[in-house]
C-alpha cells in the first residue's frame, strides 16, 4: 500500500525536530566529533598530596606547548661544550605542558637540591610533627644553603627514608637513594623529577608551608653560607628578577662537578624550571653553561 504524502511529511518533520533537539542538548559532546579540527586540551593533574591543590597562579595568559618546547630547544642549543651533561625541564603550570631535552630524565648527584626534597618530606608530614626549630633549619637549608642545618634535618627526620617517602608520594621516576646513607648530596635525581617536586611545593603543601619554602628560596643570598657564589642560572645577577630557586654544587666526584639551578622563573610561579648539569671542567665555565641556557629560556618566554 502506498504511504500518504501527508504521513511522509509528518515523519520527516519529526526526524528533523529530533535532530535539532539532539544538537541543542548534546552539542558540546557532538561538536568535536562533527568537527575533528577542534582539540580538547587536557591538563595533567597535580602530584598527589595531603593538602588541597591551590589554583594555578595567574599569568600573562595560556601558551601552547610548542613555545615551551621551543624555549627548551633554544636552551639546549646553547650547550656546546664537549662532555657536559645538561638536563633541562620546563613546566608551564597554566597549561600543564612539560618540555624536556634528551638529558632531562638523567639522574645526577643532587648536591643541595636534596634539601628541597627533605623540606617537602618534613612539611608534608614525614617522620614526625614539625617544630619551630625545624622551620628555622629549613629556612637556613633552603636560603643560604646551610649544610649544618641540612645535617640536622637529615638526622632528625630519617635521612634516606625521607627521600623514599617523597619518591612514593610524588611518584618520582628518576630519583635514587645515595650509596652512603650519610651523604645527602649524593641522592640521585633528574631535572624532570625536580619540576614535579617544585610543582608540589606550590600545589600540594599547605599555604603556610608553601610560603615558607618559596620565601626562603626567593630570599637566598648571592653568597651561600659556605661562601659559594650562588649567582648563576636562575640567580644570574644580571637577570635574577623575581626568581625563586634552589642552587646546587658538588665537587669533584669522578673528576667532574655537579652544578644545578631549579625553581620558579616568574613571581607568579607559572614557569617551573630545572637545569641540572654534570660537567668535566671548573665552576667558571660551568656557570656560563647554566647562565646561557637560562637566558635562552627567558628570552623565548619573555620573563
Residue boundaries of the structural domains of the chain: 1-40, 65-301
β-pairing, 257-264 with 271-279? Answer: antiparallel
pTM above 0.85, yes or no: no
Q: Tell me which H or E stretch contains 117.
A: helix 114-123
Q: Which has more pLDDT, 252 or 54?
A: 252
CA distance 188 to 195: 15
Burial class (CB in 10 A: 0-12, 13-18, 19+), 268: middle
In order of 32, 47, 135, 260, the CA distances from 274 in angstroms are: 36, 17, 24, 8
CA distance 258 to 281: 10
Q: Are 286 and 259 in contact (CB under 8 A)?
A: yes
Asked whether the predicted pLDDT for residue 18 surpasses 70, the reply is no
Asked whether the predicted pLDDT for residue 81 surpasses 80, the reply is no
Q: Tell me which H or E stretch contains 162.
A: helix 160-170
Q: Tell me which H or E stretch contains 247.
A: strand 244-251
* CATH superfamily of domain region 65-301: DD-peptidase/beta-lactamase superfamily (3.40.710.10)
Q: Sign of torsion, CA 296 246 101 83?
A: positive
Grade residue 42 by pLDDT with cuts at 50, 70 and 90: very low
Tell me the average pLDDT across 96-105: 97
**Which pLDDT does position 56 carry in this prediction?**
46
Grade residue 246 by pLDDT with cuts at 50, 70 and 90: very high
Q: Are 191 and 268 in contact (CB under 8 A)?
A: no
Of 80-94, 131-145, 175-189, the range with the lowest mean pLDDT is 80-94
Grade residue 32 by pLDDT with cuts at 50, 70 and 90: very low
**Which pLDDT does position 6 carry in this prediction?**
43
Backbone angles phi, psi at 67, to 5 degrees: -60, -35
Of 6-20, 33-47, 165-179, the range with the lowest mean pLDDT is 33-47
Tell me the average pLDDT across 114-143: 94
Amino acid at each position: 500500500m502506498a504511504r500518504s504524502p501527508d504521513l511522509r511529511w509528518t515523519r520527516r518533520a519529526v526526524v528533523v525536530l529530533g535532530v535539532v533537539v539532539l544538537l541543542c542538548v548534546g552539542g558540546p559532546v557532538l561538536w568535536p566529533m562533527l568537527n575533528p579540527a577542534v582539540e580538547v586540551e587536557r591538563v595533567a593533574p597535580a602530584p598527589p598530596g595531603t593538602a588541597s591543590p591551590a589554583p594555578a597562579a595567574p599569568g600573562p595568559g595560556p601558551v601552547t606547548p610548542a613555545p615551551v618546547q621551543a624555549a627548551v630547544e633554544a636552551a639546549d642549543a646553547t650547550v656546546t661544550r664537549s662532555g657536559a651533561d645538561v638536563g633541562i625541564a620546563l613546566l608551564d603550570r597554566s597549561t600543564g605542558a612539560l618540555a624536556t631535552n634528551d638529558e632531562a630524565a638523567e639522574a645526577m648527584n643532587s648536591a643541595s637540591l636534596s634539601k628541597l626534597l627533605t623540606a617537602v618530606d618534613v612539611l608534608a608530614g614525614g617522620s614526625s610533627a614539625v617544630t619551630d626549630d625545624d622551620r628555622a633549619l629549613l629556612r637556613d637549608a633552603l636560603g643560604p644553603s646551610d649544610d649544618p642545618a641540612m645535617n640536622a634535618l637529615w638526622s632528625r627526620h630519617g635521612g634516606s627514608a625521607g627521600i623514599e617517602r617523597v619518591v612514593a608520594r610524588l611518584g618520582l621516576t628518576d630519583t635514587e637513594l645515595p650509596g652512603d646513607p650519610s651523604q645527602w648530596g649524593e641522592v640521585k635525581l633528574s631535572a624532570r623529577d625536580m619540576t614535579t617536586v617544585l610543582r608540589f611545593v606550590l600545589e600540594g603543601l599547605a599555604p603556610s608551608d608553601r610560603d615558607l619554602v618559596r620565601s626562603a628560596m626567593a630570599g637566598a643570598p648571592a653568597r651561600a653560607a659556605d661562601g659559594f657564589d650562588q649567582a648563576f642560572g636562575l640567580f644570574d645577577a644580571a637577570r635574577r628578577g623575581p626568581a625563586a630557586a634552589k642552587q646546587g654544587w658538588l665537587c669533584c666526584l669522578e673528576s667532574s662537578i655537579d652544578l644545578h639551578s631549579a625553581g620558579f622563573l616568574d613571581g607568579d610561579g607559572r614557569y617551573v624550571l630545572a637545569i641540572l648539569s654534570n660537567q668535566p671542567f671548573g665552576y667558571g665555565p660551568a656557570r656560563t653553561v647554566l647562565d646561557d641556557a637560562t637566558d635562552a629560556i627567558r628570552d623565548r618566554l619573555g620573563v
